[in-house]
Chains A and B, each alone.
Chain A
C-alpha cells in the first residue's frame, strides 16, 4: 500500500510538473512585464522544489543537503529576476 501510494505520488508529481511547465509557457507573451517574469521564476522555483522533494526523494529528510537544495532554486530565481531588472 505504501509503495502504491508512492507510485501514485510520483505519477501526480509528473502531471503537476507538466501542468506548471504549460502554465509558464502560456505566460511567455506577457513576460515583458517584470511581475509576469517574477511569476514565471516563482513557478520555476516551485518546479525545482517538487523535483528535489519528489524525484530526488528528499521529502522529509532532515539534512543540510535538503535545505541547501531547497535554497538553490528560489535564491537563483530571485537573483536572475534582480539581474534582469538592471
Chain B
C-alpha cells in the first residue's frame, strides 16, 4: 500500500510542479483564470475532505474497541462529507463550462481541469473503497487484531486528503 501511495504522490508532485511552471511562465493568464474560480468552493471542499479524513480515523478508533457497527456510522459520515466535495466540484465544473471554459481554453484551464479532475477521480475511487470496506466492517470483517485492510483503505483516503491540502493553495489561494 505504501509503495502505491508513494507512486500516486509522485505523479501528483509532477503535476503540481508542471502547473507551477506554467503559472510562472504566464502569471497574468493564471491570475485572470483564477478570478473565475470560487475560492469559497475550494474552502468548502477542503473542510469536507479534512472532515471526511477525521471521520475515517474515528471509524478506525471505534473499531479497535470492537464496536464495528458504530464504526460504520463514522464511515457513512465520511461518505457524506466526501459527497459534499463531489457536489461542489461538479458545481464548479458546471459553472466554468457554462461560462465557456474547458480543457482547451488556455494553459490555466488545462492545468486546472487536469489536476482537479485527476484528484476527483481519486476521491471517487476512495469513496468506492470506503463503501466496500464499510460493508465488510458492518459484517464484522475487521476484528481489532486483524484490520490491516481497513487501515490500508484509510491510508489511501488520507493520501487523497493530503493531495488536496497541497492542491488547494496552489489553485485557489496563491495569487
Interface residue from A7, A54, A84 paired with B174 (Cβ < 8 Å):
A84
Tell me the total A-B contact number using a CB cutoff of 8 A.
107
| Bound-complex Cα distance A30 to B89 (A) | 25
Instruction: Report the separation of the CA atoms of residues A41 and B166 in the bound assembly, to the nearest whole angstrom.
Output: 8
Q: Using C-beta atoms within 8 Å of the partner chain, give the interface range for chain A.
A: 35 or more
Q: Is A86 interfacial (CB 8 A cutoff)?
A: yes
Contact with A along B10-30 (1 / 0, CB 8 A): 000100110011011100000
Q: Is the CB of B173 within 8 A of A40?
A: yes
A51 and B53 form a contact (CB under 8 A): yes
Which among A13, A21, A73, A86 has the highest number of chain B CB atoms within 10 Å? Answer: A21
Q: A52-B162, A65-B2, A80-B20 are in contact. Are A14 and B51 (CB under 8 A)?
A: yes
B17 touches A7 (CB 8 A): no
Contacts of B162 in A (CB 8 A): 48, 51-52, 73
Q: Determine the chain B residues whose CB is within 8 A of the CB of A14 once the complex forms.
A: 50-51, 54
A44 to B155, CA, bound (A): 19
Q: For B16, list chain A residues within 8 Å (CB).
A: 76, 80
Q: Which residues of A contact B166 (CB under 8 A)?
A: 44, 48, 73, 76-77
Residues of A within 8 A of B124 (CB): none
Q: With a CB–CB cut-off of 8 A, which chain A residues contact B56?
A: 55
Q: Is chain B's binding surface mostly helix, strand, loop or mixed?
A: helix
Size category, B interface: 35 or more
B68 located at the interface, meaning its Cβ lies under 8 Å from any Cβ of chain A in the complex: no
A55 touches which of B17, B24, B43, B158 (Cβ 8 Å): B158
Given pairs A10-B58, A48-B165, 12 additional interface contacts (CB within 8 A):
A3-B61, A6-B61, A10-B61, A24-B168, A28-B39, A31-B173, A44-B168, A51-B53, A52-B162, A55-B158, A68-B6, A86-B25
B contacts, CB < 8 Å to A: 2, 6, 9, 13, 16-17, 20-21, 23-25, 39, 43, 46-47, 50-51, 53-54, 56-58, 60-61, 64-65, 151, 154-155, 158, 161-162, 165-166, 168-170, 172-175
